[in-house]
Structure formats: structure tokens, C-alpha cells
Amino acid sequence: MERRAFLVSLGAFAAASPARAQDAPSWSAPVIDMHFHMRRTPELNIAHQQGAGVTAANLLTRTDSAAAVAPLQAQHPRMFPCWFSATDVTKPDAEKLLTQAVKAGAKGFGELKFPVAADGPEMRRVYALAAELDVPVLIHFQEVSQAAAEGGYNTGIKRFGAILKAYPRTKFIGHADAFWANISADYHEQEAYPTGPIVPGGVTDKLLSDYPNLFADTSANSANNALSRDPAFTADFLKRHQDKLHFGSDCNCEDGKGGGAAQNSDRVAPRMRGKCVAQETLKLLTASTAPEIFRKIAWTNAHRLLGLPS
């Protein structure tokens, strides 16, 4: 390079650096947030992506909010390439509403978080429908009551192997505290977010190994907490399940930087309060695995699961 051009480019770099530092973080691969609850306005949806340096998001909607998806997708097709739809699975019209959502373009069911058993009749009909329509089902597994979500949802994860076997054509995405606490073999529903080293051989780790139709998203405090417990275990877990995991945030912050009332409330787990879960988990994944595996978890796996071009 000629000296003058070199100096000019150095100057350009120096001028650009401070701006970049204040801007969003950048990750080693493009990122799709597969667990992004659609927000009230287009601006709020966009702000979280930009603040956290996230390329795209899968919008999680209820069947009655699906109409708001179309204009957002039309305006920002790269940022919002896909959406999932959920409805109360205990209601008799659940199958009809979920079918309509898929016909309207939904790429999956979820998040399904209703007070039923994961192997009960309500969810079994959803699993059968998901296989018929060839869309995945995103499930919130919770056994321990919490301030932000009392009671249990999709209970009985320790029995879930029978469901994975009974519905081989259904693609399941595991999420939430009971899913992630059960990667450790010593978990007995003693608390939502257990700490300390992982005991190998946990139920959900085994299910991920044994059943090709089980996937998981790395969203929320539940996944971040589980993957922060034992760095050596985490590195091995990410390596072993590198084709079954995809990134998700389930973050409540407004700006992709931990701001806003919801992410600073006492209903948020203290370790995540005031922080952006998307950023925290992307940092954790970056530190815990090789760039090739990060790319799969952050981008490629989700695209393959949903049949989207990447």
C-alpha cells in the first residue's frame, strides 16, 4: 500500500473505532435469536437486535398477535426471517389455531408454556399435529414454582424419553429450568437454578444423545446458569451436542444492553438482573467453544432445523 493511502486508512480506522466501541458488540458469526418474544412495537423489536449485535430473530407470538408479524417481516426480512406461534393448549380450538398459524407462515409451535403434563393428552395432540405439519415444538419445562411463573409447566421431564420414542417424526426443542437443571445427574427438583459442578449422566444430556428428534435452545437464565456451572463440562457438552443446540435469549431487556424496567425487576434472577441475556450467553458460548461450533449454535443449526436458507 502506498504510504499516503496507508495513513488515510489508519485515520479512518482511528475515527471509526470509538464509534464501534459504543455500538453493538460483534460476534464471530452471524447470530439468530431463536427465543425472542415479540415486543409491542417494531422499534422495540429492532432495538434489542441492534443493541446486542444480533443479526436475526425468530419471533415468538401468540396466535392472536400473528397479524403484527407480517408488516415487521416485510420491512425487515433479514432481521425477522421467521416466527413461531403459540396458543393455550388446554382449549378445544388449539389444533385449529395452530394449524391456521402454520398455514399463515409460522415455522414452529411455541413457546408452549401451559400448566399441563408434558406427556398429557393436551401436549400429545400438539406433538401429533407438529409431525403432520412438519414444524418443531418449543417447550418450556418447569417443575419448581417461581415468582415470575408460579406452578409447573410441561411437567414430568424425567419421563420424556417415552414421548421422544412415541413421536419420532416430531422435532422437539427443550427450554427452561427443568430442562437445563437436568443436565446434571444429581438434580431432584430442589431448586430452579442449581449451582456447582455438573454430575455427568443427567436426564436431558442423555435424551439429547439418544434421540435425534430432540433439540434445545440456550435461552434464558436457565441455560446460561447451567452452562456457567462447570466450564470443562460445558466445553464437552457443546462439542457433543454441537448439531442439536441453537442460540436463544428469552431476554426482557429493552436495548440489548440490559436496560429497561423488566430486566431490572426483582422477578429476574439476580445473576442476570440489569444484564442482556443475549449478550451474556453469546459471550459464554464464545468463551466455551471453538468458532466453528459457535457458528453452528448461533446460526447454522437453526436454519437447518427450520429449512431456511443460511
Residue 276 interacts with Zn ion (CB under 5 A)? yes
Q: Given the DSSP bridges, would you call strands 56-62 and 32-37 parallel, antiparallel or unpaired?
A: parallel
Minimum Å gap between C-beta 263 and Zn ion is 6
Find out whether 279 and 290 touch, Cβ atoms under 8 Å: no
Interface residue with Zn ion among 238, 251, 284, 305 (CB under 5 A) is 251
Query: How far, in Å, are 71, 169, 235 from residue 177 at the CA level?
Result: 34, 25, 20
> Interface mask (CB under 5 A) for Zn ion, residues 184-213, using x and -?
------------------------------
Residue 302 interacts with Zn ion (CB under 5 A)? no
Find out whether 36 and 57 touch, Cβ atoms under 8 Å: yes
Minimum Å gap between C-beta 64 and Zn ion is 19
Q: Which is nearer to Zn ion, 114 or 167 (CB)?
A: 114
User: CA 255 to CA 258: how far, in whole Å?
Assistant: 7
Interface residue with Zn ion among 25, 49, 140, 179 (CB under 5 A) is 140
| Range in contact with Zn ion (rule: CB under 5 A) among 171-179, 223-231, 265-273, 287-295 | 171-179
Amino acid at site 244: K
| Range in contact with Zn ion (rule: CB under 5 A) among 82-90, 168-176, 237-245, 300-308 | 168-176
**C-alpha cell of residue 51:** 443493541
Of 231, 277, 259, whose CA–CA distance to 33 is shortest?
277
Minimum Å gap between C-beta 282 and Zn ion is 10
The long-range contacts involving 242-245, CB below 8 angstroms and separated by at least 24 positions, are 242/289, 242/293, 242/296, 242/297, 243/296, 243/301, 244/208, 244/214, 244/215, 244/216, 244/301, 245/215, 245/216, 245/217, 245/218, 245/296, 245/297, 245/301
Minimum Å gap between C-beta 180 and Zn ion is 11
Site for Zn ion in 56-75 (CB under 5 A): none
> Interface mask (CB under 5 A) for Zn ion, residues 89-128, using x and -?
----------------------------------------
Q: Which is nearer to Zn ion, 238 or 253 (CB)?
A: 253
Q: For residue 285, what is the enclosing H or E element?
A: helix 277-288
Q: Which is nearer to Zn ion, 98 or 242 (CB)?
A: 98
Interface residue with Zn ion among 82, 98, 173, 176 (CB under 5 A) is 176
| Range in contact with Zn ion (rule: CB under 5 A) among 62-70, 172-180, 190-198, 289-297 | 172-180
Please report how many Cα atoms fall inside a 13 Å half-sphere around the Cα of residue 133, on the Cβ side: 25
Q: What is the DSSP-derived secondary structure letter of residue 119?
A: T
Binding-site size for Zn ion (CB under 5 A) equals 6
Residue 268 interacts with Zn ion (CB under 5 A)? no
Interface residue with Zn ion among 38, 116, 139, 253 (CB under 5 A) is 253
For the chain, report the end-to-end CA distance as a whole number of angstroms: 35
Q: Which is nearer to Zn ion, 164 or 253 (CB)?
A: 253
Q: Any idea of the CA torsion for 280, 281, 284, 285, to the nearest 10 degrees? A: -150
Task: Write out the residues near Zn ion by the rule CB under 5 A.
Answer: 140, 176, 251, 253, 276, 278
